[in-house]
């Protein structure tokens, strides 16, 4: 057997044999996998956190992970770094599978330099991101890091720039998912913000640009890390986090579920999963779920559960801007994106946050070839000084732009009311919906009958001996003339008025017909959406 030497041997010394070299490799790999020490691992567990490799084990199919640059070490000098050069340099990178489909991943190892990003660390992330883009497969980042490695100075900051640039290049090309499993402060928070979905874990993960100490020094406000940028704050108040969970196991299980609903890249369709729920199943229960009286609230989530396969859907941004619902589900095994008014919250009106939430979701669906079903029961845009001064015009225009720009199959269904600009914005036929349906309870109009009567007949009402009786009469007259269920159908503004019990069957057949839809946008570098 021929010996393979590492380098020049001393005079008279035999070069090591292949078996010795192999043993040396195994020992190096074992050190890399074990991490810095048992103490560091115990400290990580004491915080209620898993190690980077334990997280990867939960995310990927068993035995599928293939690590890249496991033996990479930094080359920095000074501040004691030259004496501390652990393998992996604090980030584990590679690829594996989720339900048999390739997924790329990188995971910060908080046990090594607190997961802080240095030059070698960043280069590893850049490489795995480039591989994901080239292979056309999703990228999942498991974030648990203390920001830039201060000892390496501007080189560490430049590493973040490379990550951001690749996040932008991959946007709309491959699904990008950020899972926050520890701290993420300063400029590091911008990478998750550039990705498609952000997951957080309560108590252990935080995201903020400036931490509590800086906030206290500048503004005098006292606040904890979780109060400033914890999972609940970002899931309910800021909208930065799409999902929040109590523990890492539940969080990573939901990441796997989300990946099962997404295509590998923008050239593919999401995977179909055939189940036992019949495509022509009647949705008779909808007759009792939705009150005919347009002022009575109900839970639109129950409507969605009735029409999708097995009543199963994944709601995105469930706790932020709750007056609108954005969800991924399957209908006859095919993935669809559902945008729906939620009459149970603010009567389902559109406001600034609801417009932003739905616009981003529509853009994501369009980027990844997911058909969009829109369920309308919307009384209009939320009036008020705060909304107008907050820019409801430009924020509402974001939703309008997203729908107008989408080329995937688009179907809208009016359950009850659809008034004013909100009706137009939420994928009406006039902005390009492929098919528009309505229930026989629909009211499509410029505004509600009461408001319309007050405007149109204000003189008659004011001059009447009994203004209230006149107003009631005029409201009935307006409804009879312009708001009856078939007014829009008679004018070709909806394609059909359907029986609520046929809703699932009609939507599935329509989606099947539209599956081969092809639409081209004008040639341009990119649009200039409202800000």
Query: Which residues are catalytic, by number?
Result: 186-187, 421-422
**Dist. CA 345–CA 329, nearest whole Å:** 22
HSE-up of residue 158 (Cα within 13 Å, Cβ side): 7
**Dist. CA 67–CA 255, nearest whole Å:** 20
Beta-bridge mates of residue 410 = 372
Catalogue the long-range contacts made by 380-386 (C-beta closer than 8 Å, 24 or more residues apart).
380/349, 380/350, 380/419, 380/420, 380/421, 380/422, 380/447, 381/349, 381/350, 381/351, 381/420, 381/421, 381/422, 382/346, 382/349, 382/350, 382/351
Nearest C-alpha neighbor of 455 from the set 473, 475, 469, 479 = 475
At which residue do the structure tokens 């709601």 appear? 315
**Dist. CA 298–CA 289, nearest whole Å:** 7
* Radius of gyration (C-alpha) of the chain in whole angstroms: 28
Encode 425-442: b = buried (16+ Cβ within 10 Å), e = exposed.
Answer: bbbbbebebbbbbbbebb
State how far the alpha carbon of 297 is from the alpha carbons of 10, 17, 449, 467, in Å. 85, 78, 18, 29
Q: What is the DSSP letter of 350?
A: B
Q: What are residue 484's phi and psi, to 5 degrees?
A: -75, 155
Query: Exposed/middle/buried for 269, CB within 10 Å: 0-12, 13-18, 19+?
Result: middle
**Dist. CA 442–CA 375, nearest whole Å:** 12
**Dist. CA 277–CA 382, nearest whole Å:** 38
Query: Using an 8 Å Cβ cutoff, are 296 and 473 in contact?
Result: no
Q: What are residue 290's phi and psi, to 5 degrees?
A: -105, 115
Q: Is 142 left (phi over 0), alpha (psi -120 to 50) or beta?
A: beta
- Three-state SS string over 258-327 comes to HHHCCCCCCCCCCCCCCCCCCCCCCCCCHHHHCCCCCCCCCCHHHHHHHHCHHHCEEEECCCCCCCEEEE
**Dist. CA 62–CA 502, nearest whole Å:** 43
**Dist. CA 382–CA 185, nearest whole Å:** 34
């Amino acid at each position: 057997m021929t010996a393979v030497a590492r380098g020049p041997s001393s005079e008279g010394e035999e070069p090591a044999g292949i078996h010795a070299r192999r043993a040396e490799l195994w020992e190096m790999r074992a050190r890399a996998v074990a991490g810095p020490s048992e103490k560091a691992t115990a400290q990580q567990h004491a915080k209620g956190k898993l190690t980077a490799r334990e997280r990867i084990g939960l995310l990927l199919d068993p035995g599928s992970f293939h690590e890249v640059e496991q033996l990479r070490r930094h080359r920095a000098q000074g501040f004691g770094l030259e004496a501390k050069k652990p393998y992996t340099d604090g980030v584990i990178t590679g690829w594996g599978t989720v339900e048999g489909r390739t997924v790329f991943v990188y995971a910060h190892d908080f046990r090594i330099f607190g997961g802080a990003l240095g030059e070698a660390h960043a280069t590893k992330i850049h490489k795995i991101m480039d591989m994901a883009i080239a292979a056309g497969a999703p990228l999942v980042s498991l974030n648990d890091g203390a920001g830039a490695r201060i000892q390496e100075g501007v080189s560490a900051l430049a590493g973040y720039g490379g990550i951001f640039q690749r996040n932008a290049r991959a946007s709309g090309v491959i699904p990008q998912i950020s899972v926050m499993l520890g701290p993420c402060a300063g400029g590091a928070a911008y990478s998750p913000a550039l990705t498609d979905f952000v997951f957080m874990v309560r108590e252990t993960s935080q995201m903020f640009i400036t931490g509590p100490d800086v906030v206290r020094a500048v503004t005098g406000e006292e606040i904890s890390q979780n109060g400033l940028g914890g999972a609940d704050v970002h899931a309910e108040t800021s909208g930065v986090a799409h999902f929040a969970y109590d523990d890492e196991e539940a969080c990573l299980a939901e990441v796997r579920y989300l990946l099962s609903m997404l295509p590998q890249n923008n050239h593919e369709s999401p995977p179909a999963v055939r189940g036992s729920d019949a495509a022509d199943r009647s949705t008779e229960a909808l007759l009792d779920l939705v009150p005919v009286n347009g002022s009575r609230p109900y839970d639109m989530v129950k409507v969605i559960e009735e029409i999708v396969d097995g009543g199963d859907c994944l709601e995105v941004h469930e706790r932020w801007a709750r007056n609108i619902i954005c969800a991924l589900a399957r209908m006859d095994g095919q993935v669809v994106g559902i945008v729906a008014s939620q009459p149970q919250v603010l009567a389902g009106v559109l406001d600034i946050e609801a417009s932003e939430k739905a616009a981003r979701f529509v853009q994501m669906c369009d980027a990844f070839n997911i058909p969009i079903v829109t369920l309308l029961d919307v009384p209009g845009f939320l009036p008020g000084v705060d909304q107008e001064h907050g820019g409801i015009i430009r924020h509402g225009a974001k939703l309008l732009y997203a729908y107008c720009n989408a080329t995937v199959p688009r179907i809208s269904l009016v359950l009850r009311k659809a008034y004013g600009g909100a009706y137009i914005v939420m994928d009406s036929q006039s902005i390009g919906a492929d098919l528009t349906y309505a229930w026989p309870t629909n009211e499509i109009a410029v505004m509600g009958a009461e408001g319309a009567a007050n405007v149109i007949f204000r003189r008659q009402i004011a001059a009447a001996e009994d203004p209230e009786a006149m107003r009631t009469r005029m409201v009935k007259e307006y409804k009879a003339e312009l708001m009856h269920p078939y007014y829009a159908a008679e004018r070709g503004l909806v394609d059909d008025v359907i029986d609520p019990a046929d809703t699932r069957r009609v939507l599935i057949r329509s989606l099947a017909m539209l599956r081969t839809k092809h639409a081209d946008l004008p040639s341009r570098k990119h649009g200039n959406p409202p800000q």
